[in-house]
Structure 1
Amino acid sequence: MLLGLHGPTSDIYFVVYGPWWWKAREVIARAKTQGEIGHLDEATWRNIYSKRRPEIGFEEFMLHEKRKGNRGMIDGTYFDLLFTRDWSQIRAEAKGRPIKKGTVSARVVEADFAFDSPAIYRLDHPEVREIFCYSHTYAGQALPGEMVEAKGVLEETGEGLRLVVGTTREARGEWIRSLTLLESE
């Protein structure tokens, strides 16, 4: 609104820094249960899905998206809660060199920055230590302790291998899915 770029059909993006993001997500969850904030209807979800064009089916997309808790409706207007690191959380990440396409299955051990850009998932894996995800579609896709399957481009860094998802705008042929979540349904 500050730039004058908004209109009657504009979405709302709430940008929240660091640990406050997780608290904002809790507030949204509470407000949804109290009816103060609305859930997205199926038409809105289908619109989001068609815009994103993910490599996973609609039902799997919905399963992952609904538990993220970062979207809703306020008086008929769609909103998205966006995570940005607090200054104290910013550090230089090792630069990577792409080596080949790859798929990894591993347990997530840390997901503090799963909603950031890049979304970062630290892994318990003998070779691949982390997933970096530049696609908003797969941000927040997995929680600590969950098994994931991800496909993307393997990069070599000075600290080991990393899998990068979202190497192109639409991340064709790349994804992250929580196997734990899929098995629980």
Structure 2
Amino acid sequence: MLAGLQNESSDIDSVIYDPMWFRARDAITTAKQQEGPIEEIDEEMWQRIYRKRIPEISFDEFMLHESRKGNRGMVEGTYFDLLFVREWDQIKEPLLRGTDTVKMKIEAEVKNADFAFDNPSYYKVEHDEIDHVLSYTHTYAGQALPGEIIEARGVVEEVGDIKRLVVGTSREPKGEWIRSLTWLEKCGYM
């Protein structure tokens, strides 16, 4: 906690290193099902989170995706978020900035989502042009699992011979998103 900077509307961001992040998420899921200080987020808080994020997907779609992530909750009425951070040995090199080219919308299968909760979120995909999708907005962290088909819209960035799709190119990215079409269909939304 930054001394003196909190107020009544402050939330709690807990930084957890992989692989402990997944254990913490599971512990929180268990705690929400028991009597105690950790509880599910109420409707009013979800609306507040949605308005703050200003995503390009509907509130219903946002809630369907959030419902399975498990990285948020309330503790004694205060909203909290678990933030995933890689271990030092998982960081191979700094992420190089590429050259922005065009906006693009793709459908692709997620092949690897090991760092889907990292910042930026990283989704290795099977696609003719795009090698992976990065998301710099927390809204789309943990949005899809391996084997799922996603629809993503963002800016194509070229780094050498690799093209990646970047979502979250500004604080409030307009016309950029990641949706798990597989999950939405499974939930009966599509």
Q: TM-score range by the shorter chain?
A: over 0.9
Count of aligned residue pairs for this structure pair: 185
AA of the residue aligned to 1:172: K
Q: Distance in 2 between matches of 1:96 and 1:2?
A: 34
Aligned-pair identity in percent equals: 57
In the alignment, does 2:88 pair up with 1:87? yes
Aligned to 1:33: 33
Q: Distance in 2 between matches of 1:52 and 1:10?
A: 16
- Structure 1 residue 19 displacement after superposition: 1.1
In the alignment, does 2:113 pair up with 1:118? no
Q: 1:88 aligns to what SS in structure 2?
A: helix
Which stretches in structure 2 are left out of the alignment for 5+ residues?
none
Give the RMSD, CA atoms, in angstroms: 1.2
Alignment of 1:1-150 (within 5 A): 1-36=1-36, 37-92=38-93, 93-150=95-152
Of residues 168, 171, 189, the one that matches 1:169 is: 171
Which stretches in structure 1 are left out of the alignment for 5+ residues?
none
Asked if the contact 1:94/1:159 (under 8 Å) is kept, the reply is: no
AA of the residue aligned to 1:165: V
Q: Map Cα deviations across residues 95-150 of structure 1 (whole Å, 9 max, x no partner).
A: 31111000111011111111111110001112211001001111111111111000
AA of the residue aligned to 1:116: D
TM-score (normalizing by structure 2): 0.93
AA of the residue aligned to 2:60: E
- Structure 1 residue 2 displacement after superposition: 4.0
AA of the residue aligned to 2:85: T
Q: Distance in 1 between matches of 2:106 and 2:149?
A: 10
Q: 1:173 aligns to what SS in structure 2?
A: coil
Q: Distance in 2 between matches of 1:164 and 1:96?
A: 10
Asked if the contact 1:84/1:116 (under 8 Å) is kept, the reply is: yes
